[in-house]
């Protein structure tokens, strides 16, 4: 009789995270912070390694090629792990890869070997790819379906905090400990003197990556002993059938192409931001990174603003308008003088803020059983960051587009005009927004 008299629980009374899952949820939120931190801290390895190993821009950008290449390669294997075994196994594999990759920094630093650093970054990023693929559905599963969206949004709110922490760690632990000697001054040093300087610089590159292993180890031990056996029970993916459906869907195919260019734009803008500030304003790395921090604040703030505006504005139309503004500030980054150009560079981040989730949502909207394979395709589009970043680096090194700007030094013209690369990416985003202008209201 007691059961018959029970009243249904109102949605507002359902806990976002049930009491029995709170510690597990806390550990998962820590993972959200961890990969946000490592993503943005790694961006700063490009200028750091460029200076330490005295490399051209295209060679130092291999950091991003290996990092985002790993994300693309391991997205689908990660989804298979959590489907075949459990979310817990995905977390253990992801954290394990991260710790192995981070430990690889130690022999790389001792031997002062850039190639070992790159493969360590690949292993580390592979772990983050598995973590990201695992944590999102795991958080959704930790409680009632009524509160699943609130739960995932709450968890993802901590990711930007990790991103900001990564920038501050890079500023104070990595970039601040770079020796001030220029390329020419390093070339004039004896081999022993240069080796000693590199040893100190690479030691500080290792400190945050290896130090964070302690946090990863605590999470790993927790899930090894206490994690649940929840897994993705949504059914098998009929690969061939669903792939044919996706390839016949122009909105989805164009969405994957657009996401490729968007991610490439985001990574290349942030990767070369420090280089741009150093050349235009003559600042050292640890001061130039402040502008990256300001840009990240703009990115986070404008994402919240755009999310709010979407209550009234059709998402593709809002994205089209912002893409036009984005094209304008890209051109301002190329042609406008001094501090105005620097402001335009930071405003690119503001314009990028709504694009990833909006493209993702538009591309997947209306898909049926093929949505899981479709989501994997959009995650694999992250490879754009691996390919477009070195392309802009090549333009910086070779001054390929310098003829498009006059009145600047050769180095400044090369850096400025390289921002035609994100301009083209912004055009692709604009075209996708226009393509969906009257659709999916």
Q: Are 48 and 205 in contact (CB under 8 A)?
A: yes
At residue 233, the pLDDT reads 56
- Count of CB atoms within 10 A of residue 357's CB? 14
At residue 11, the pLDDT reads 52
- Contacts with 27 (C-beta within 8 Å, 6 or more apart), sequence order: 219, 222, 223
- Contacts with 193 (C-beta within 8 Å, 6 or more apart), sequence order: none
Retrieve residue 331's tokens: 């051109």
94 burial via Cβ count (<10 Å: 0-12, 13-18, 19+): buried
Torsion of CA 426, 429, 434, 439, to 10 degrees: -160
Retrieve residue 25's tokens: 């949820």
Class of the CATH-defined domain 236-441? mainly alpha
Q: Whole-model pTM?
A: 0.85
**Spatial CA neighbour of 130 closest among 216, 222, 235:** 216
399 burial via Cβ count (<10 Å: 0-12, 13-18, 19+): middle
Helices 191-211, 87-103: axis angle to 10 degrees equals: 160
- Which residues of the chain does CATH 1.20.1250.20 include? 21-235, 236-441
Residuewise pLDDT in 10s, the chain (441 residues): 444 444 455 555 677 677 888 888 899 989 989 988 998 899 899 999 999 999 999 999 999 999 999 988 887 787 777 667 778 888 899 999 999 999 999 999 999 999 999 999 999 999 998 888 788 778 877 777 666 656 766 777 788 889 889 999 999 999 999 999 988 999 999 999 999 999 999 999 999 999 999 999 999 999 888 766 655 555 566 778 878 888 889 999 999 999 999 999 999 999 999 999 999 998 988 899 999 999 999 998 888 888 788 778 888 899 999 999 999 999 999 999 989 999 999 999 999 988 888 888 888 887 777 776 777 788 788 889 999 999 999 999 999 999 999 899 999 999 999 999 999 999 999 999 999 987 544
Query: How many Å from the N-terminal Cα to the C-terminal Cα in the chain?
Result: 48
Is 1.20.1250.20 the CATH number for 21-235?
A: yes
At residue 205, the pLDDT reads 96
Q: Are 102 and 117 in contact (CB under 8 A)?
A: no
- Contacts with 71 (C-beta within 8 Å, 6 or more apart), sequence order: 125, 126, 128, 129, 132, 379, 382, 383, 385
**Spatial CA neighbour of 273 closest among 416, 160, 152:** 416
Sole residue written with tokens 């991103």: 163
HEC sequence for the chain: CCCCCCCCCCHHHCCCCCHHHHHHHHHHHHHHHHHHHHHHHHHCHHHHHHHHCCCCHHHHCHHHHHHHHHHHHHHHHHHHHHHHCCHHHHHHHHHHHHHHHHHCHHHHHHHCCHHHHHHHHHHHHHHHHHHHHHHHHHHHHCCCHHHHHHHHHHHHCCHHHHHHHHHHHHHHHHHHHCCCCCHHHHHCCCHHHHHHHHHHHHHHHHHHHHHCHHHHHHHHHHHHHHCCCCCCCCCCCCHHHHHHHHHCCHHHHHHHHHHHHHHHHHHHHHHHHHHHHHHHHCCCHHHHHHHHHHHHHHHHHHHHHHHHHCCCCCHHHHHHHHHHHHHHHHHHHHHCCHHHHHHHHHHHHHHHCCHHHHHHHHHHCCCCCCHHHHHHHHHHCCHHHHHHHHHHHHHHHHCCCHHHCCCCCHHHHHHHHCCHHHHHHHHHHHHHHHHCCCCCC
């Amino acid at each position: 009789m007691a059961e018959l008299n029970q009243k249904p629980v109102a949605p507002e009374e359902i806990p976002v995270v049930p009491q029995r899952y709170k510690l597990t949820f806390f550990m998962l939120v820590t993972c959200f912070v961890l990969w946000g931190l490592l993503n943005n801290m790694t961006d700063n390895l490009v200028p750091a390694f460029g200076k330490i190993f005295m490399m051209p821009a295209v060679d130092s950008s291999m950091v991003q090629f290996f990092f985002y290449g790993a994300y693309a390669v391991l997205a689908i294997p990660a989804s298979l792990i959590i489907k075949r075994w459990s979310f817990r196994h995905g977390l253990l594999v992801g954290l394990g890869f991260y710790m192995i990759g981070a430990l690889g920094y130690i022999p790389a630093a001792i031997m002062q070997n850039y190639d070992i650093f790159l493969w360590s970054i690949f292993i580390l990023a592979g772990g983050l790819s598995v973590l990201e693929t695992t944590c999102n559905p795991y958080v959704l599963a930790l409680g009632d379906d009524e509160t699943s969206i609130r739960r995932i949004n709450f968890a993802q709110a901590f990711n930007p905090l990790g991103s900001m922490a990564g920038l501050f760690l890079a500023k104070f632990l990595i970039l601040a400990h770079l020796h001030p000697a220029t390329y020419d001054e390093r070339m004039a040093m004896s081999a022993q003197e240069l080796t000693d300087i590199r040893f100190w610089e690479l030691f500080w590159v290792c400190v945050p990556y290896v130090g964070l292993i302690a946090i990863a180890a605590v999470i790993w031990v927790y899930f090894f002993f206490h994690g649940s056996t929840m897994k993705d029970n949504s059914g098998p993916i009929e690969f061939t059938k669903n792939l044919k459906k996706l390839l016949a869907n122009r909105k989805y195919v164009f969405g994957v192409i657009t996401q490729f260019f968007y991610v490439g734009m985001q990574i290349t803008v942030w990767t070369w931001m420090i280089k741009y500030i150093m050349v235009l304003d003559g600042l050292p790395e640890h001061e130039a990174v402040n502008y990256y921090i300001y840009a990240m604040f703009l990115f986070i703030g404008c994402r919240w603003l755009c999310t709010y505006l979407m209550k009234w504005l059709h998402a593709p139309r809002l994205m089209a308008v912002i893409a036009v503004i984005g094209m304008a500030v890209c051109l301002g980054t190329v042609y406008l003088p001094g501090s105005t150009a620097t402001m335009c560079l930071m405003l690119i981040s503001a314009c990028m803020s709504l694009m990833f989730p909006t493209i993702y949502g538009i591309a997947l909207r209306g898909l049926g059983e093929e949505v899981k394979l479709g989501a994997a395709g959009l995650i694999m589009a992250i490879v754009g960051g691996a390919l477009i970043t070195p392309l802009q680096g090549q333009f910086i090194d070779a001054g390929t587009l310098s003829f498009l700007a006059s009145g600047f030094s050769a180095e400044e013209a090369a850096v400025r005009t390289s921002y035609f690369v994100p301009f083209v990416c912004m055009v692709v985003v604009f075209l996708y927004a226009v393509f969906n202008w009257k659709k999916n209201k």
